[in-house]
Amino acid sequence: MFDVGFSELCLIALVSLLVIGPERLPKVARLAGFWLGKTRGMVASVKEEIKLELQAEELRQLFKEQSGLEEAQQILDETSNTLKATLADSTEPHELK
């Protein structure tokens, strides 16, 4: 994500050592690491939730398409039955009254 090389890390460590001081630097580094870890965990959690939501939406779309196919099959069956009934009626000999 960020291109931070070894030289940049050394520069950050040197500046923080000068600004914070050697006594408080370990405590600040621990605190920064803690918050960095929490932030990474939150980002991973959000990514996982988005992934799950996208999968759920994809499944909803598949079910919707499947129900559309079932409706089309039902219409085809009804049309086929109507056509068969019509053909059966037309091939039967009609009695003259």
Condensed to tens digits (0 to 9), the pLDDT of residues 22-66 reads 898 889 889 989 999 999 999 999 999 999 999 999 988 888 888
Has residue 82 been placed in a domain? yes
Has residue 95 been placed in a domain? no
Dihedral over Cα of 63, 68, 73, 75: its sign:
positive
- When divided into structural domains, the chain yields a total of 1
pLDDT the model gives residue 5: 87
pLDDT the model gives residue 94: 60
Q: Tell me the chain's radius of gyration from C-alpha atoms.
A: 36
Domain with 51 in it: 6-86
- pLDDT band at residue 95 using 50, 70 and 90 as cut-offs: low
Helices (H), 1-97: 6-20, 25-91
Separation CA 14–CA 22 (nearest Å): 10
Has residue 96 been placed in a domain? no
Has residue 1 been placed in a domain? no
- Amino acid, res. 10: C
With beta carbons less than 8 A apart as the criterion, state whether 25 and 16 touch.
yes
Has residue 91 been placed in a domain? no
Has residue 30 been placed in a domain? yes
